[in-house]
Each structure stands twice: as structure tokens, then as C-alpha cells.
Amino acid sequence: MTADPIIVVGAGPAGLAQALYLARLRGRRVMVVEQQADIGGNWASVRTPWGLVDRGVLIPHEVGVSAFDELFYEVLPHASWNLLEGARRDISGNIFRGHIDQGSLYPDLRRLERHEYARCRAEIISRASGQRPGIADARSLHEFLSCRFGPSTTELVHRLISEKFWRLPLQQMSAWAGKVVHVARVVLDSAEASIELKKDPLLDAVIGYPDQLRIPASMQSSRRAFYPKKFGLSTVIGAFREALASQGVELLTSTAIVGIHTADKRIGGIDLATPAGPRHEAASAVLWTSPLAGLGKILQLKFPEPPDAPIPHRVVHLFLDRAPNTGELYWLWSYDGSNSITRFTNYAAYCPDAASGGTFPVCVETHIDPARADDGAVVAQVEKEIRECGLIEAATRIVGSAVLPAVRVFPISSIANCDALAKQRRAVEQLGLQNLLLSNQDISAGRFYLADILAASVPLLEEL
């Protein structure tokens, strides 16, 4: 490989996976540039005095593109993976109306008052024969939800969820926000009745099954989730580092791009600020997997700033002396506005090795402003709330705690913010740089999860 390298900007999981795709499957010379000292992004792990925790709490899912899925499975020996499939692919629940629901991720309308439930149910059934906009077509999250469920469910359930998670009314939220927090379905009935209702494709799209561990095989996703048997996603990141090195990929960390040289609508090279000093590197192409704000500064573009400020987000890791009171759930959303909890995760439910040190690590993600509470106050508030919610038993003792800054603040997928992100992308595209390819997270285009980003990247990677 003597050609100038393809420069992959960003060493999060998306950047690492795309770099390996280019090097191994396309036979390209690749260089990865990462501004941070560490690689992995939200797949990094952190060592605390009480044990390891993941910085970004997530369970990877198959992309649905065999080339990428095979790359992930090949970085570790097959026996090193916990493969989560069928009904156990993503065991997730929720807190709604003061109740921990272990049967479904979606809010159960049977928790409403009887007259409210009857009204919501009638409106949902009546909409099974009508047309409704898809998530990419709806003008707002309010329109998307009200066309699916009717005004009653939208008001009684989703308005309160929006106010908790985003602190904005549904009318100001992009429909894509429904991809971040799972609001596209509700539980409406018993398992037996749900099976009958879900025979209608329009109802199937809006009704969740209430007993996920007993969901019929015909309703299960064919895609699997996966997690290393040795606890910590950093295990996967370390394996990616080795796989990239074996392909001759140069990985630069603590390195910033400070200049981009262009001629005839092409990038010819980049200027780098590295720990060893300035460096110039010729480039056959640049694949940008990081947020576009940094690229805009380098290219001296006047980007519109997303106007709706992100919500302060604190990630609290607790080490318990016994398992939490969440059964087999991997994680859950807290839809109730009476607490600051957004998500609760039990690591050991999907990776038993997490509890091998004698404690049970859990993660509580919260909307608590760090300016108003120090770490001790945050832990005290979180402990109070998870006890009140019944997430841990009264006798459970918290052995240790660690409050970490979120990898990124909680995203506000408002219409205004999505419009600003779309304008940023268009500003870059209008430069017409033929060998600059954008392959980053962009909720304005419906690319939020890693699988979305990687699936959309395949046509770009095949061009290089």
C-alpha cells in the first residue's frame, strides 16, 4: 500500500469500525486521528476503586450488514462473546406511574385511570385504518405521536415524558427524538389480546408486547446483541486497536487537525498538531466520523449553533452488596417525572462477570445539574430515589460509588437543533470537496445509534 492514506477522523466505535473495514476489507492504507488521549469514545471503560464500569452504558447490536457484524465478532475469539438473542436480545423495562414494568420497554396504558385507558385505547384502535406520517416525514414529535396514538395518549403519557427527558413541549421536538427515547409503541393489552391486535400491521407498529421473555418467536428480531464475557467494553476497544495495528493502520491520539489543504475541489493533505510537534500528512481522502463543529472551525465555516441547550447529565455508578430489584432486566427507562432518573442499568444481567468482584455494579443516569450538587449530594439523591422507586431493596447496602461526567450531554433533538445540524452538514457539502466524506452521528438524518451510522456508511466506504 503506497498510496496516500485515508484519514479517518475520530476513534470512537464508529471511526474504529470504519477504519478496520477500509483496511481489512478494502485493502486501503488508513490513518486514524483522535483528539482525545484515549480511544473508544462511549465504549471506553473506567477503573474505579470498587471495580470497572463502562463510560457509556450500552449493549451493542448487530448492524445488519454482514461485513460489519463479522468485523466485530472477529476482533475477539468467538468464545469470548456473550451473544444475546431471541427474547433475551435486549431485556429492557420502564418505570411508569410508580410501577417497575419488567415485561416491556414501553409505557403500559393499563396503569392509567380506567376512563383514561378506555379513551386512549379507543383512539389507538380507530387510527389503525388511517394514514399516518413516518418518523422521517412528521413535522414534529407531537404530530408523529398524535397520528399514531391520538390526542389522549399523547397528552397523558408522551407530553410528560417529553417534559422530563427534554424539558421541551412535543411540538418543539423533532420526530427523530422518538428514536432516542423509545416512544413509538405502548403496551395496550394482555399478551393474548396483543397477539390478536398485532396481526394488523398498523396496530403492530404501535403496540408493544407486554411479556418480553415469552414473546413468540415470530415477533422476535433476528438481529443479536453482543457483549464481551470479560466485563468492560474496553476489552473490545483493545481488540480493535490490535486488529488495526495488524493491518498497518497508524493511530494518532492527542492529535488535532489544525489545517486542511484543498485544490480543485479535493483535499490534498492535512496539518496536525501532535504530542511530538507539527506534522503534515498527505491524504487520498478524509472520512469524518466526529461531530461537525470541529470540521467547521478548520474550514472556517460559519456554522449555526444548535439553539436549545443540552440538559446537564450525571452518570452515577453504584456498587451494591446484592443484585438490584429489577429481575432479569438489563436496563430500564424511568418515564415518571417524580424523579431525576432517566435510565437504570444492571451490568451483571447481561454480563455476569460484572459481579465477579463480589459487588453488583449498576449505573443510574440522571438529569441533575452539576452546578447545583456536588458528587456526594448527587449520590445521596440518587440513592434516595432508587430506594423510593423500589429499584433496590431496603436492606441493600451501597458499598461504593463513582460519579462520572457523561461522555456527552443528553441530546436535545428539538426541531431547531436538528435544523441547525442539517444546515451544518449542507454547509460542508456545498464546498463540493470530492474526497471529504461525512459519516458521523446525525440525528437530523435519523442516524443516532452505532448501527445506523455504520449501515449508512457502506456506500461511502465502497467508494474509497
My answer on whether 92 and 138 are in the same domain is no
C-alpha to C-alpha distance for 376 and 378, rounded to whole angstroms: 5
Residue 350 has pLDDT above 90, yes or no: yes
Predicted pLDDT of residue 113:
98
Within a domain: 355: yes
Q: Which of 175, 208, 241 is the last residue of a domain?
A: 208
Mean of the per-residue pLDDT values of the chain = 95
Predicted pLDDT of residue 120:
98
Spatial contact of 417 and 309, defined as CB atoms under 8 Å apart:
no
Q: Which of 232-241, 282-291, 368-377, 402-411 has the lowest mean pLDDT?
A: 402-411
Within a domain: 70: no
Neighbours of 134 (CB within 10 A): 10
Within a domain: 120: yes
My answer on whether 142 and 176 are in the same domain is yes
Residue 16 has pLDDT above 90, yes or no: yes
Neighbours of 42 (CB within 10 A): 16
Q: Which of 221-235, 244-258, 365-379, 380-394 has the lowest mean pLDDT?
A: 365-379
Within a domain: 82: no
Predicted pLDDT of residue 17:
98
Residue 407 has pLDDT above 70, yes or no: no
Closest CA to 333 of 183, 451, 184: 183
Spatial contact of 282 and 271, defined as CB atoms under 8 Å apart:
no
Predicted pLDDT of residue 311:
86
My answer on whether 402 and 453 are in the same domain is no
pLDDT higher at 418 or 1: 418
My answer on whether 346 and 374 are in the same domain is yes
pLDDT in tens, 25-44: 999 999 999 999 999 998 99
Within a domain: 74: no
Q: Which of 174, 208, 242 is the last residue of a domain?
A: 208
My answer on whether 320 and 383 are in the same domain is yes
Within a domain: 18: yes
Spatial contact of 162 and 175, defined as CB atoms under 8 Å apart:
no
My answer on whether 20 and 94 are in the same domain is no
pLDDT in tens, 431-463: 999 999 999 999 888 899 999 999 999 999 999
My answer on whether 291 and 438 are in the same domain is yes
- Print the domain residue range for 355: 87-103+211-225+311-410
My answer on whether 216 and 269 are in the same domain is no
Within a domain: 1: no
Closest CA to 284 of 44, 2, 42, 7: 7
Q: Which residue has the cell 463543529?
A: 293
My answer on whether 133 and 198 are in the same domain is yes
Residue 9 has pLDDT above 60, yes or no: yes
Predicted pLDDT of residue 107:
98
Spatial contact of 187 and 103, defined as CB atoms under 8 Å apart:
yes
Confidence band for 127, pLDDT divided at 50, 70 and 90: confident
Mean pLDDT for 146-158 is 97
My answer on whether 26 and 153 are in the same domain is no
Closest CA to 57 of 334, 408, 441, 412: 408
Residue 369 has pLDDT above 90, yes or no: no
Mean pLDDT for 138-145 is 96
Radius of gyration in angstroms for the set of CA atoms belonging to the chain, rounded to a whole number: 23
Within a domain: 300: yes
Number of domains in the chain: 3
CATH code of the domain covering residue 95: 3.90.660.10
Predicted pLDDT of residue 404:
83
* Percent of the chain whose predicted confidence (pLDDT) is above 70: 98
pLDDT in tens, 248-299: 999 999 999 999 999 999 999 999 999 999 999 999 999 999 999 999 999 9
My answer on whether 250 and 330 are in the same domain is no
Q: Which of 410, 425, 452 is the last residue of a domain?
A: 410
Closest CA to 6 of 255, 297, 289: 289
My answer on whether 16 and 163 are in the same domain is no
CATH code of the domain covering residue 286: 3.50.50.60
Set of cell numbers at residue 197: 391486535
Predicted pLDDT of residue 333:
97
